[in-house]
Structure 1
Amino acid sequence: MQQHYYNMEHHPPTRTRKLKSDFISTLPQNIIEDILTRIPLQEALRTSVLSKKWRHTWRGMPKLVFTDNMVNHLRIQLNKYKLISAIFHVLLFHNGPTIVEFRCSVGELHMESEFAQILSVLARGNTVKEFIFISDNRSNKLPVSFFALQGLEHVHLENCTLEPPLTFNGVSSLTVMNFQNVEVSAQVLQHFISKCPLLQSFILIEVGKGIESVPAGGNNFTLVDLFQCVPLLEGFGITKHYMKYLCAGGMPHKLPASLVHLSYLFLHVCLVEQNEISSALCIIRSSPVLGRIVFLMDNNDKSPVQQTPANFLDPEGYPDLNLDHLEMLEIHNYSNLPLEMEFVKLIIAKSPELEEVRIRLNSNVSADEERKMLKEMLLLPFPRASPSAKLIIVSP
């Protein structure tokens, strides 16, 4: 073990050196704000005792995060009002020109009516750029005051219901929208995104039901309609129930207008459903600059009948499918079915710049099946546009 010895000869223990200046008070304002955003809000408020300069610095914090774990759940009702009081206190004294991020995770506190008042206060200043709201109650309807936040650039909503007022005219500055377990009708979704002309990233995720079930008379809002509303889209993700609803009735061979900016695509699909695989191929075919594709397979091994012809994914049948910019293909919940294998081969055959194929196996795939898959993908001849692409298999 290395030991260090210090010579105390010139530093008598009876004397204490005095700092020549108050170091923390000389820090630039942007450094102070960066420090405050990296610590919990309670600790940021306590920095007011550090020095005269820091006494009111927290009032200009660009990031405000309120969560239900800031209070003790043993006395939920009492602590709910403590949290609400703290939020209003911070907003009342906040004097920064911009709130870069406002995050509120209410969990079990059920503060719907109070939250509407909080949003009303935020809307008066209209300075919030990023808004994150997380609830544990999907029926929790976003208050009308939310739609008055016209300066928003990023929105992340979890477990709530979205129903804009009739007077809603969109958010002209919104670029990123993430909906997770959000109850929203197809009509409302179309109206909302059509009023956000700068939208670049759009994620639709659900655990249970997505939009509503497909109506008997057909679907009046499809993926084709959705993409026409977001011409600047760079990143798109959609999971099972939304996908099933929006591609009901089939998709065209190619979208009317190409997604010329789309570089990231996440799809949750069932390959044995004709509508879903056709929709996936339509999106890919219409996206000339895709750099990364991520697929989550939807229990293909549990579907009783494969409705897709065996030669449906023959690369020779797709002369107009060119993935000239694709570098990464990632597949989750891979069951090693013949149709899944053909799908992977099709992407590999059409991607000359491909660098990596990462496949995460379903837990039902045995070791023997895994070895067979590796043999087929590494040893058997099939078209490879990028022979140097790495293949990574991740077992459960």
Structure 2
Amino acid sequence: MKNQNPRRSQSLNSDIISTLPLNIIEDILTRMPIRDALRTSVLSKRWRYTWRGMPKLTFKDDMIAMSSDIYYMLRKCKLVHAIFHVLLLHNGPETLVFKCSVFHLHMESDIALIISYLARRTKVKKLFFSSDDRSYKLPVSFFSLQGLEFVYLYNCTFEPPLTFNGFSSLTSIRIWNVDVSAQMLQQFLSKCPQLVNLRLVGCQKVLDFVAGENKFTFGDLLQCVPLIQTLDISKYYMKVYLCAGGMPHKLPTSLVHLKNLFLNVCLVEQNEISSALCIIRSSPVLERINFLMSDNEKLPVQQTPTNFLDPEDYPDLKLDYLVKLEIENFSKLPLEMKFVKLIMAKSPLLKKVKIELNDNISVDEEMKMLKDMLRLPFLRASPCAELVIDRPLGFKKWRLRRV
């Protein structure tokens, strides 16, 4: 029997994963459910404490596996114990990402303790928090997380204390179904000087909550975020701020950094069109516009001047950097068509116009729209713009060049 090559035998028996650099191992662990990441401690001495340096901690209420007949309070206690167990043993230099999603256990008081602990012991750069109760008010300790750079909040109440001095490093915030008054939102945004990404997504209840206290306009809100690069506003937040007096022809201070604009608008309502145009007109370096049409078929079409949205009436509208226009839920209303033509007439670098049709648009109506876009003469600033028309799933997609 021939002797085996000791080097070859050693290579076959080696633990390839354990030989990886520690930062790669930690990254692998962060992609696993945290319960499984902790279980790697039993693999070997090498793995016993590896998870403790994970730069991302994600906790969900389903991480505690128990039979459905167990009283939920026991499950809640086990989850809280597990979270604090991880936090106490975690010895990473900083927690880069902290995610906590609790939808069934009503852990309001416990979350306050957890966030308070984070504010005292670690440096959280990214915080994701999701709750099942919109009436849950974020604890004051949340506003002490001074290292925050990214915040995602879902389903809670947001009220900065009077002592809040701001988040000097915060660059991105997304709030979804969050109850916040207009004044509180203004106070918060004005104290986040580095904010470049703002997403406000809400539902009808949010509108009901803030409308009675609103005393400033959408224009006032935008003045709080002078460095904004990406702006995403849902239709209900749009309506809240529009109802306070509408928008001027142009903002007093241009949004000179805004590149990506996402708006829910109703092009049946002239004030919403004017507001959208105000933002566009005040954003000289826009590269992408995405509109989600809302309520266009539910409201009666308002009477507008025949030359409304005529490119010749907008000499100050210049989109010299715009390369992409997307419109979702397109209903083929006259004002929608005019808006598309206006943008195409003002965008010399435009490369792509993508229109996703409403489910109610028939094939015949779609063909008529295509003929209108192709045959009827209207100004096109970009000779190489591509028009893509998407049908709902299962329907044909049209792609036309040089429209």
Q: Which residue of 2 aligns with 1:284?
A: 280
Of 18, 21, 31, which residue of structure 2 is paired with 1:38?
31
SS in 2 for 1:357: strand
SS in 2 for 1:387: coil
Of 304, 307, 310, which residue of structure 2 is paired with 1:311?
307
Matched, 1:229 2:220: no
Provide Cα deviations, 1:225-268, integer angstroms capped at 9, x if missing partner: 11111111000010111101112212111111111110000010
Q: Is residue 309–residue 339 contact of structure 2 (8 Å, CA) maintained in 1?
A: yes
Q: Which residue of 2 aligns with 1:220?
A: 215
Deviation for aligned residue 1:276? 1.2
Aligned equivalents of 2:77, 2:303: Cα separation in 1: 56
Matched, 1:361 2:357: yes
Deviation for aligned residue 1:210? 2.8
Q: Is residue 59–residue 94 contact of structure 1 (8 Å, CA) maintained in 2?
A: yes
Q: Which residue of 2 aligns with 1:83?
A: 79
Aligned equivalents of 2:300, 2:285: Cα separation in 1: 36
Aligned equivalents of 1:151, 1:213: Cα separation in 2: 29
Q: Is residue 154–residue 175 contact of structure 1 (8 Å, CA) maintained in 2?
A: yes
Of 235, 240, 246, which residue of structure 1 is paired with 2:241?
246
SS in 2 for 1:294: strand
| Matched AA of 1:327 | V
SS in 2 for 1:330: strand
Provide the aligned C-alpha RMSD in A: 1.9
Of 183, 187, 195, which residue of structure 1 is paired with 2:191?
195
Q: Is residue 179–residue 210 contact of structure 2 (8 Å, CA) maintained in 1?
A: no
Q: Which residue of 2 aligns with 1:136?
A: 132
**TM-score, length of structure 2 as denominator length:** 0.91
Aligned equivalents of 1:149, 1:357: Cα separation in 2: 42
Of 182, 186, 194, which residue of structure 2 is paired with 1:186?
182
Of 356, 371, 378, which residue of structure 2 is paired with 1:375?
371
Task: Name structure 2 gaps, 5 residues minimum.
Answer: 393-403
Aligned-pair identity in percent equals 64
Matched, 1:158 2:161: no
**TM-score, length of structure 1 as denominator length:** 0.92
Query: Which of 302-311 and 352-361 deviates more?
Result: 302-311
Of 287, 292, 295, which residue of structure 1 is paired with 2:291?
295
Query: Which of 153-162 and 119-128 deviates more?
Result: 119-128
Deviation for aligned residue 1:114? 0.6
Indicate how the Cα distance of structure 1 residues 363 and 11 shifts in structure 2: closer, same or farther if over 3 A, else same. Answer: farther
SS in 2 for 1:47: helix
SS in 2 for 1:145: helix
Matched, 1:69 2:62: yes
Deviation for aligned residue 1:359? 0.8
Aligned equivalents of 1:266, 1:310: Cα separation in 2: 27
Aligned equivalents of 1:202, 1:240: Cα separation in 2: 15
